Structure 1
Amino acid sequence: MENNDNSGANDLPINDGGAASNRGRIIPVNIEEQMKTNYIDYSMSVIVGRALPDVRDGLKPVHRRVLYGMSELGNTSNKPYKKSARIVGEVMGKYHPHGDASIYDTMVRMAQDWSLRYTLIDGQGNFGSQDGDPPAAMRYTEVRFEKFAEAMLEDIEKETVDYQLNFDDSLKEPTVLPTRIPHLLVNGASGIAVGMATNMMPHNLSEVVDGCIAYIDNREITIDELIHFVKGPDFPTGGIIYGFEGVKQALHTGRGRVVLRGKTNIEIDNKGREKIIITQVPYQVNRDMLTQKIGDLINDKAIEGISDVNNESNNKEGTRIVVELKKDVVAQVVINQLFKLTELQTSYGINNVALVKGRPRVLNLKELIVEFIEFRHEVVVRRTQYELRKARERAHILEGYIIALDNLDAVIKLIRESSTPNLAQEGLVSNFGMSEIQAKAVLELRLQRLTGMEIDKIREEHAEIMKLIARLEEILANEGMRYQIIKDELTEIKNKFGDERKSEITYADDEIGMLDLIEDEDVVVTISHLGYIKRTSSDEYRSQRRGGRGAKGSSTRLEDYIEHLFVASTHHTLLFFTEKGRCFWLPVYKIPEGDKTSKGRALQNMIQIPPDDTVRAIIDVKNFDDKDYVNSHYILLCTKKGIIKKTDLEDFSRPRQNGINAINILEGDQLLEAKLTDGNCEIIMAVKSGRAIRFPEEKVRSTGRGGIGVYGIEVDNDHDAVVGMVCVNREDKTRTILVVSEKGYGKRTYLDDPETGEANYRVTNRGGKGVKTISVTEKTGSLVGLLDVSEKEDLMITCVSGVTIRMSVASVSEQGRATQGVKLIRVDEGDEIAAITKLDEKEEETELITPAENQDQDKADTDATDTPNLEEASDADTE
């Protein structure tokens, strides 16, 4: 480049040895300035013409040229496949003269469903694999458009985008595609330019469309509000996004970091050993390389506990990497080691750099949406202007036809008398007031259009064209209509191509404020006997009358059944207490969500419970950050042998990942129940044989987590055991004690008679035998549980078989404490009650189902059991 500034002329020596004729044409330049200018030109060429995507269609030039070249060849989704080499030759010869390798590599990636969240090319043949296998040569593979790509080129023929000359100025190519899809957000992009780079993550199409529509409806929408729609990246290979702070930062600023983990399940083989099954790997992770890395760690003894690893993945069943464990190894510990030492956990730097009006910019979520919507608005305007111009041109010709039809005989006579077409055209213009275009169209009109039916069609077409013109003019004059068109087209794209998220989002333990992103709602948490946990919307459980048949509550194995079932908020924290006296911590929102019949996820995948331990009690804690709440509450623990222990809640506010010790369990005993109290309660404990004891909470002093506890109730023999413990606020006179036997009988009894105030359950010292709380017979079976309930709550009863029934507590009759109760649920032969729990009454009206065949049985049960047995009652009055 010439430098007209001669200020540096004296700085550089001039070679006088040249020919005299050239001396006047040699211009001295500053080499530093020349290098700087040339390097800037080169870098801008790389930035604009190669490495960075355009913010409007999300494509780099090579991607855009491949798609446009395929479009020009008619290689659409409803046409036969064409050889990849044919497309490569077309694109290289006309638009992209940079070698066939770069073009074919681009095509291959656009056809790989593990590389792009939504593929643009439908490939036939070997296009490589997620294990790193290379694609076949271009002469073997064939391609055509995906319907998704066709939506990116729609309306390109309607002058919606600008064109530029190709590399040799012989053809024109589009500078951008008129995409209806927010492709840059949906499929992301990556590239290294000169002095800058871009690395944009893919997102879910449905979420992005919802975000775009939300912006159209409210231009002042904040990024935090947009995050409710666009929740975060969504990778084609799935995986679990661990931690949200880095993602949130990227959505706000355009720069951040996302940590992605593979998805794992734990299976048990026929020898009883656990296997870790990796079903999803992080984005762009080679499965064979991951398997080899795990093998190397085994050989180097960097990970103890793995006996073998094998990649069993295939195209039909997807990813399946099997990690076999040695005996008595805790699977979750090995999984955490794999996260730390292998690419099973990978981090990606987010850098949202794209070209905006030819200049690179870092863009946040809202700016990306704004740029796309503005571009779509421009496309809609240009498309409407084009359609309006074409409609007016057609209307003009139709008006000429109508003039000719209105003067048909005269027009025919004029044409017949004219010696040349030019004279006929001049005659039509001068005699009938037609334009030259109209006159030419009339002369080219076929005779069949002069039949009566065709004449009517011409008039109808003209009327329709005029309506169309009026509508197009209205669109151009009304901005609201244009944005409504954009919304309608986006909704159509979502309905056509939208799908569910593939990547889950979980939250790191040290993140703050993440609960703001989680809806605060009540869910039913269920834990099966074999340790599978899930959460389900409580609305899925319908209400039934007592005595009904019940509904299937969970799909479990024959030897499994629902053991714990309760309602908790997604913003709360659960404390899990095991039979060996350990305590573990888990937020409710981290529990995997499932429908009522799903199996759930193994609890050992969520918390590090040893294989020989079992969860026995769960406490729902509202907020550990509220110091007043923590300091005013206690946890009461009881064991099957009648031991009771009280500890400050503060001692459980900072549990470790591998759990903490809550109570020292003596040999032959195990933890049964845990309750959260405020220090002002009365405690009721009951045993299988039907006895119960009532004593004040003050009788149990608070001790540290390492203590053993004191006796709460006397257990007579090895066959008897505590079945439950409830804590009732002594000032609450509305609650009743509900007991249920293993064969489905139950009742409610007030602690104190509401009319006389006389105690049904006398207050005594702890450690006594107690009084009869239910008449245990062969018909009722042993006592299986007790709850403190009010009439505003619902009762959920679960059988060993998995059958669950929900009923109103008010439908359970009140009786004396020494009676056997009424039948609450019909229990099949060989089945028995496994668990009972109470649910808060919902505001919405629930469906009430009363099977006709059960009504007579209800009455018979009530008649048979409502009358107390006076002899048994008198015996029960003695402790």
Structure 2
Amino acid sequence: MGEKLISINIEDEMKSSYIDYSMSVIVSRALPDARDGLKPVHRRVLYGMYQLGIFSNNSYKKSARIVGEVLGKYHPHGDISVYDTMVRMSQKWTLRYPLIDGQGNFGSLDADPPAAMRYTEVRMKKISEEMLLDIKKGTVDMQLNFDDSLEEPTVLPTRIPNLLINGSSGIAVGMATNIPPHNLKETIKAICAYIDNNDISVEQIMEYIKAPDFPTGGIIYGYDGVKKAFHTGKGRIVLRAKVHLEEIHGRQCIVVDEIPYQVNKSEMINRTVELMKDGKLEGIYQIRDESDRNGLRIVYVLKQNIINTNVLLNNLFKYTSLQTYFNVNNIALVNGKPVQLNIKDLIQHFVDHRQSVIIRRTQYELKKYKNRIQTLIGFLTILDHLDKMIELIKDSKDHNEACDRLIQKFKLSKHQSKSILDIRLQSLTSLEIDKIKREHKELVKKIAFLENVLRQHSIRMRIIKKELLNIKDKYQDKRRTQIDYLGSEVNMEDLIEDEQVVLTISHAGYIKRTSLSEYKCQGRGGFGNRGAIARESDFFKHLLIATNHQYLLIFTEKGKCFWLRVYEIPEGSKISKGRAIQNMIHLQPDDKVNAYILTGDLTKNKYVKNHYVMMVTQKGMVKKTSLKHYSRPRKDGIKAIVIREGDSLLEAILIKGNSHIFIAVKSGKIIRFSEDKVRSTGRMSSGVIGINLTIPEDSVIGMICLEKEEKGQHLLVVSDKGFGKRSNLKDYRITNRGGKGIKTINITQKTGSLIAIKKVTDQDDLMIIKKSGIIIRIPVSDIRVMGRDTQGVKLINLKKNEEIADVEKVYNKQVV
């Protein structure tokens, strides 16, 4: 009865209530003030400790005592919110310059929880006391607490640029802030530079503040994100762990000395172990966390036969928190409103705040000194009339009468007369009188200076600068986070040495890469060095000279194309067996690798448009297709050529569009024709006839391309029984494609069938690999130049029933 109902649109009510809630979160909880860099809870913790007198030179007090003080007087929220704030303010891996000195268990880098507040103790750090200096001099506005019983500061009169040196993070409603910490020494130098020149640019400020400086150290990888963040207040900074290679007990190890900011160490290690189990990180034998109170140390013990260490390290950066991102978003409260601020804005708001503090402090001190000087003037006035003053006081019946009579007799103010009545008799000695005169003289000078401070902006700036330099001298330290300025421009391959390597692929599909320097040059007719240990019923079929940074296009006999980087291929010694290629590409069980192409950068349009892939099948079909069609193969591969029934892809070569093509067959014949006889087609074609096979059991064994005929170039052929020879290129006339070809070697039972053709010069070396895995390297100059009809000379000694698997040439300039 008597209730009054008011109809309200629910949409309007929800909108109004949500806006009120969101502004409360933004202003009173989540975002820091641009002046002191603190959120309300941080400010209340420091002010509560200040009120209790828990300074850096006093004893520690129980955390529960401070939490109770803050809750009961200033912060009407849960005790966990206050204690967690205190914990973070004391953690040296959370704040660049911790504000609270904690004693006890305050957590760890592994995100271990701190001990309960009844066990831990705290006191203020010396640097945090600098934030509260002069607070009793009316330097900042005060506001009533939640129950209007006490006053608390709306901002602290900080002498340190806390928002810049410690940063801040928080999630409000509809917005978030993530301000990185910076080095105090660099920051103060930049602020002083701004004071000297308010028109200083962000670029000039960056000459002093190089980049953020995180408490856990690490490396800022690349500078573009830093530049953007400094200019706009928003950017993405790449952080990497600081690592080095170390040999421990005969094993190669990757040792982590510093991890990126805000990374949970134990979670990172556990995630790495999961990736090892999933097969995404191969080559790690064991992970040991050897961190202690003296510092962080994580040891990744590597396996004996690992892939390239640099590749493994880059995979760690890619898949684990050894590389993270700090998304800068400099949002802070300016006049109670959230504003996006760049580095210069942050400096400007701090300097403006310091100037306001100095003005209010000066006004407070000026008022205090003026009151004191009035008192001294009263003392000096009655010094020559001491006897009359004493007589007047003696004749007065009480204090009030004496006060009034002094005012009338000596023309004093009420304050002066009261001060004279309170004076002690011992102050009337000549020594004390001289002291009063000196104090009066000093106060006159101080008042004149303070009045100048209020009048002149330049004097205030000098004071700010002087106080900042004093802070720098007391608290400066070295930068912890290194800066890799080229990081943003460095690709993964730039961290891998671009050395010459030998790629070998076995008949069963095992691939590896070995440094070319492991193969020593021998004379013709030698037995060779031990290469890979062949698996049972396996032999090594392909050998290729490459560099780590090249791209490898892999072609299968069924006409599919796959894409790999050379450095992604597992590294092994000469006697290692390699890794199954089907574990690296999605190869079908009934397919196998038959050809490969080494290319340059496939991401460059000009490069792929100016190159073609020339392919040949065992049945003599040829096909020319632009390299751009193979520049972006899919994970499961792409169709490179349509293979007809009974045929298979044999060879693929990279050409530029103006070559002569040589195709050799097992029976010892070669055909030479111009590339322009084969028009370029798309991927989904089968090509045209390159050479006509007249013998049913005959097949193509190889193809070479000749861009231009140069002096000293020869055609080298090798048979499977170890015979070979060189012949002049001019001995092979140019014909149309589709012919039968002409003889290049006299095939006999002694020589065996033709197995390889190569284009060589005297400066080249030849590498020959047997099916047993034995490899020999001989100079091409040791092989005679002979006519087309001869059988050649013996290149390598073969044991009974032994045959050659593959042949490759090596340029001497490639020899390491």
Q: Give the TM interval when normalised to the shorter protein.
A: 0.5 to 0.7
User: What secondary structure is seen at the aligned counterpart in 2 of 1:157?
Assistant: helix
Are 1:290 and 2:271 counterparts? no
Q: 1:296 deviation in Å?
A: 1.8
| Paired position in structure 2 for 1:487 | 465
| Paired position in structure 2 for 1:441 | 419
Matches within 5 A, 1:205-604: 205-271=184-250, 273-316=251-294, 318-329=295-306, 330-508=308-486, 511=489
The 2-side partners of 1:285 and 1:218 are apart by 39
Kept after mapping to 1: 8 A contact 2:221/2:488: no
User: What secondary structure is seen at the aligned counterpart in 1 of 2:318?
Assistant: helix
Q: 1:384 deviation in Å?
A: 0.8
Structure 2: gaps (5+ residues): 491-544, 551-568, 575-710, 714-758, 765-816
Kept after mapping to 2: 8 A contact 1:287/1:311: no
Kept after mapping to 1: 8 A contact 2:96/2:215: yes
User: What secondary structure is seen at the aligned counterpart in 1 of 2:130?
Assistant: helix
The 2-side partners of 1:406 and 1:215 are apart by 54
The 2-side partners of 1:297 and 1:268 are apart by 23
| Paired position in structure 1 for 2:24 | 45
Kept after mapping to 1: 8 A contact 2:712/2:762: no
The 2-side partners of 1:226 and 1:147 are apart by 28
The 1-side partners of 2:23 and 2:548 are apart by 60
Counterpart of 2:240 in structure 1: which amino acid?
A: R
Q: 1:710 deviation in Å?
A: 5.7
| Paired position in structure 2 for 1:65 | 44
| Paired position in structure 2 for 1:183 | 162
Counterpart of 2:75 in structure 1: which amino acid?
A: H
User: What secondary structure is seen at the aligned counterpart in 1 of 2:328?
Assistant: strand
Are 1:31 and 2:36 counterparts? no
Q: Give deviations 1:630-661, integer Å, cap 9, x for gaps.
A: xxxxxxxxxxxxxxxxxxxxxxxxxxxxxxxx
Q: 1:612 deviation in Å?
A: 9.2
The 2-side partners of 1:196 and 1:217 are apart by 34
The 2-side partners of 1:425 and 1:52 are apart by 55
The 2-side partners of 1:261 and 1:50 are apart by 31
Aligned residues: 513
Kept after mapping to 1: 8 A contact 2:712/2:761: no
Counterpart of 2:244 in structure 1: which amino acid?
A: N
The 2-side partners of 1:236 and 1:37 are apart by 42
The 1-side partners of 2:761 and 2:34 are apart by 66
| Paired position in structure 2 for 1:113 | 92
User: What secondary structure is seen at the aligned counterpart in 2 of 1:153?
Assistant: coil
Larger radius of gyration: 2
Q: Give deviations 1:8-28, integer Å, cap 9, x for gaps.
A: xxxxxxxxxxx4x44xx4332
Counterpart of 2:88 in structure 1: which amino acid?
A: R
The 1-side partners of 2:340 and 2:303 are apart by 49
Are 1:139 and 2:118 counterparts? yes
The 2-side partners of 1:44 and 1:497 are apart by 36
The 2-side partners of 1:124 and 1:237 are apart by 20
Counterpart of 1:47 in structure 2: which amino acid?
A: I
Over 3 Å counting, the alpha-carbon distance change for 1:27 and 1:115 in structure 2 is same
Kept after mapping to 2: 8 A contact 1:206/1:498: yes
The 1-side partners of 2:333 and 2:712 are apart by 69
Q: Give deviations 1:717-748, integer Å, cap 9, x for gaps.
A: xxxxxxxxxxxxxxxxxxxxxxxxxxxxxxxx
CA RMSD of superposed structures (Å) = 2.7
The 2-side partners of 1:470 and 1:463 are apart by 11
Q: 1:581 deviation in Å?
A: 11
Kept after mapping to 2: 8 A contact 1:254/1:350: yes
Counterpart of 1:431 in structure 2: which amino acid?
A: K
Counterpart of 1:327 in structure 2: which amino acid?
A: Q
The 1-side partners of 2:157 and 2:22 are apart by 27
| Paired position in structure 2 for 1:96 | 75
Using the size of structure 2 for normalisation, the TM-score is 0.60
Q: 1:82 deviation in Å?
A: 0.8
Q: 1:236 deviation in Å?
A: 0.2
The 2-side partners of 1:583 and 1:492 are apart by 54
The 1-side partners of 2:264 and 2:548 are apart by 39
Are 1:194 and 2:173 counterparts? yes
| Paired position in structure 1 for 2:704 | none
Q: 1:33 deviation in Å?
A: 1.2
Counterpart of 2:170 in structure 1: which amino acid?
A: G
Q: 1:321 deviation in Å?
A: 0.5
The 2-side partners of 1:195 and 1:389 are apart by 46
The 1-side partners of 2:8 and 2:419 are apart by 64
Q: 1:465 deviation in Å?
A: 0.8
Q: 1:406 deviation in Å?
A: 2.4
Structure 1: gaps (5+ residues): 1-18, 513-579, 586-607, 614-699, 712-879
Over 3 Å counting, the alpha-carbon distance change for 1:46 and 1:701 in structure 2 is farther
Over 3 Å counting, the alpha-carbon distance change for 1:401 and 1:509 in structure 2 is closer
Kept after mapping to 2: 8 A contact 1:57/1:182: yes
Over 3 Å counting, the alpha-carbon distance change for 1:66 and 1:510 in structure 2 is closer
Q: 1:259 deviation in Å?
A: 1.0
The 2-side partners of 1:365 and 1:612 are apart by 53
Q: Give deviations 1:607-648, integer Å, cap 9, x for gaps.
A: x999999xxxxxxxxxxxxxxxxxxxxxxxxxxxxxxxxxxx
The 2-side partners of 1:509 and 1:127 are apart by 35
Kept after mapping to 2: 8 A contact 1:245/1:511: no
Over 3 Å counting, the alpha-carbon distance change for 1:509 and 1:170 in structure 2 is closer
The 2-side partners of 1:472 and 1:86 are apart by 40
| Paired position in structure 2 for 1:537 | none
Counterpart of 1:473 in structure 2: which amino acid?
A: E
Kept after mapping to 2: 8 A contact 1:206/1:499: yes
User: What secondary structure is seen at the aligned counterpart in 1 of 2:210?
Assistant: coil
The 2-side partners of 1:475 and 1:228 are apart by 31
The 1-side partners of 2:158 and 2:488 are apart by 41
| Paired position in structure 2 for 1:774 | none
Matches within 5 A, 1:677-692: none
Kept after mapping to 2: 8 A contact 1:234/1:502: yes
| Paired position in structure 1 for 2:101 | 122
The 1-side partners of 2:282 and 2:222 are apart by 27
Q: Give deviations 1:232-265, integer Å, cap 9, x for gaps.
A: 1111000111111112111111111111111101
Q: 1:281 deviation in Å?
A: 0.8
Counterpart of 1:323 in structure 2: which amino acid?
A: Y
